[in-house]
C-alpha cells in the first residue's frame, strides 16, 4: 500500500505542476476556478489520508500482528 501512496503522491505532484500550483489563469471562468479549488482540496485530503495510514494505522496493524504471532 505504501507504493500506492507514493504513486498517488507523484500523481498529485504532476497535477500541481501542470496547474501552476492550482492557480487558474486570469481568463478562467468560475467552473475552472472551482476545479482548481477542488484539486487543492483533494491534495490536502489525500495527504491527510496517507499520513494517517502510514503513521498511525499501519504501525498499529503491524504491532497487533506481531503480538498475535508472539501468542502462537
Per-residue burial over 12-40, b = 16 or more CB atoms within 10 Å of its CB, e = otherwise: beeeeeeeeebebeeeeeeeeeeebeeeb
Closest CA to 37 of 52, 5, 45, 6: 45
From first CA to last CA, the distance across the chain in angstroms is 26
- Angle between helices 2-18 and 30-52 in degrees, nearest 10: 160
The count of domains in the chain is: 1
This prediction's pTM: 0.78
**pLDDT tens-digit map of 35-58:** 999 999 999 999 999 999 999 999
| Residue 66 pLDDT | 87
The whole domain housing 63 covers 2-71
Amino acid at each position: 500500500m505504501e507504493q500506492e501512496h507514493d504513486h498517488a503522491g507523484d500523481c498529485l505532484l504532476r497535477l500541481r505542476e501542470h496547474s501552476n500550483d492550482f492557480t487558474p489563469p486570469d481568463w478562467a471562468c468560475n467552473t475552472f476556478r472551482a476545479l482548481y479549488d477542488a484539486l487543492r482540496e483533494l491534495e490536502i485530503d489525500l495527504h491527510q489520508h496517507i499520513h494517517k495510514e502510514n503513521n498511525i494505522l499501519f504501525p498499529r496493524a503491524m504491532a497487533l500482528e506481531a503480538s498475535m504471532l508472539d501468542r502462537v
